[in-house]
């Protein structure tokens, strides 16, 4: 038996894994513990509080009207994932499977946009979006954003947040790398059966790109859900704010209510964890695609 399979090596290996897991998961568990503590035991040094309550979640969800901001973030994240996957897939397909003059130049031009910091074009982009009406000005009206009309106005605000960043150079690169690895025989067989280019992309290429699509969806969801600066710049009414902006706004009001602020933070973190757990089976495979094919 080799040394790496000895009981001592296994104990050390599992001890290292437990230590790393504690470092990674520990802060979230402490935040979760802090969010359910009663007012009198906020600062006690124990993971499981002696007095537990869920009133903090009720307070932040209803009294501070975080439910509407949660809906705004859901609309932004879902719309961002859908648009990014569709646009990146349609751009990556011809760059990977078709031969035309200037293909590599176009691909390099798309990749070069990743080197431009957002702060360089932030102010011109804000001015442009406001000039063409792509802001929440249409929803910045008095009255609550309730009912179908309210959802439509929230969706308009979500479009203002999502549309300027709906084309992802990283997404084009990731899906192109995967499309390059798809055998030509599948594509030719679909053409023999009479399938057009859109049908080939929809029926053959995209289903085979599930690992890459899942990876892109996870990165896009995390980025759009946690994005703070752009929604802060483009949105002007707190009812249309996304969750990170609203929580940052409430941090001053909740500075003396640590457990309530912790509850708001847990509400903001849980959807990201759930989304990752749904797509994790494809994530590792999709994350390594870029190193396989050049």
What pLDDT does residue 74 have? 93
Count CA atoms closer than 13 A to 238's CA, side-chain side.
9
With 0-12 / 13-18 / 19 or more C-beta atoms within 10 angstroms meaning exposed / middle / buried, residue 207 is exposed
Q: Provide CB contacts within 8 A for 137, sequence distance 6+.
A: 130, 236
What pLDDT does residue 201 have? 92
Q: What global pTM score does this model have?
A: 0.84
Q: What is the pLDDT of residues 26-47, one digit of tens each?
A: 888 888 888 888 766 677 777 7
State the Cα torsion 34-40-43-47 to the nearest 10°.
-50
Buried b (16+ CB within 10 A) or exposed e, 91-106: bbbbbbbeeeeeeeee
90 pLDDT higher than 80: yes
Q: What is the pLDDT of residues 180-231, one digit of tens each?
A: 888 888 888 888 888 888 999 998 899 888 888 988 999 999 999 999 999 9
Q: Of the given ranges (65-69, 136-140, 169-173, 226-230), which has the lowest mean pLDDT?
A: 136-140
Q: Provide CB contacts within 8 A for 213, sequence distance 6+.
A: 85, 89, 175, 206, 282, 286
Higher pLDDT, 276 or 134: 276
The closest of 106, 101, 163, 155 to 134, measured between CA atoms, is 163
- Structural domains of the chain sorted by starting position, each given as residue range(s) with its CATH number in brackets: 1-53 (no CATH), 60-291 (1.10.3720.10)
Q: What is the pLDDT of residues 37-77, one digit of tens each?
A: 876 667 777 778 877 888 889 988 988 888 889 999 999 99
* CB-CB contact of 113 with 169 (8 Å): yes
């Amino acid at each position: 038996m080799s040394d790496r399979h000895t009981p001592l090596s296994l104990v050390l290996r599992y001890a290292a894994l437990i230590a790393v897991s504690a470092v990674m998961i520990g802060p979230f568990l402490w935040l979760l513990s802090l969010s359910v503590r009663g007012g009198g035991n906020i600062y006690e040094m124990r993971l499981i509080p002696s007095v537990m309550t869920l009133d903090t979640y009720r307070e932040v969800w209803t009294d501070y009207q975080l439910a509407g901001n949660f809906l705004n973030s859901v609309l932004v994240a879902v719309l961002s994932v859908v648009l990014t996957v569709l646009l990146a897939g349609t751009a990556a397909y011809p760059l990977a499977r078709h031969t035309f003059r200037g293909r590599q130049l176009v691909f390099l031009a798309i990749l070069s946009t990743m080197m431009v910091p957002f702060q360089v074009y932030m102010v011109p982009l804000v001015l442009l979006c406001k000039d063409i009406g792509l802001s929440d000005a249409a929803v910045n009206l008095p009255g609550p954003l309730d009912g179908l009309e309210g959802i439509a106005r929230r969706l308009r605000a979500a479009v203002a947040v999502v549309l300027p960043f709906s084309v992802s150079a990283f997404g084009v690169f990731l899906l192109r790398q995967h499309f390059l690895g798809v055998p030509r025989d599948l594509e030719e067989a679909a053409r023999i059966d009479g399938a057009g280019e859109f049908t080939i992309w929809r029926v053959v290429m995209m289903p085979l790109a599930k690992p890459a699509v899942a990876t892109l969806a996870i990165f896009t969801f995390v980025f759009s859900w946690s994005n703070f600066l752009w929604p802060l710049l483009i949105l002007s009414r707190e009812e249309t704010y996304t969750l990170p902006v609203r929580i940052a706004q409430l941090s001053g009001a909740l500075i003396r209510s640590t457990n309530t602020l912790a509850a708001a933070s847990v509400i903001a973190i849980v959807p990201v964890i759930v989304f990752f757990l749904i797509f994790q089976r494809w994530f590792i495979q999709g994350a390594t695609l870029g190193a396989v094919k050049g």
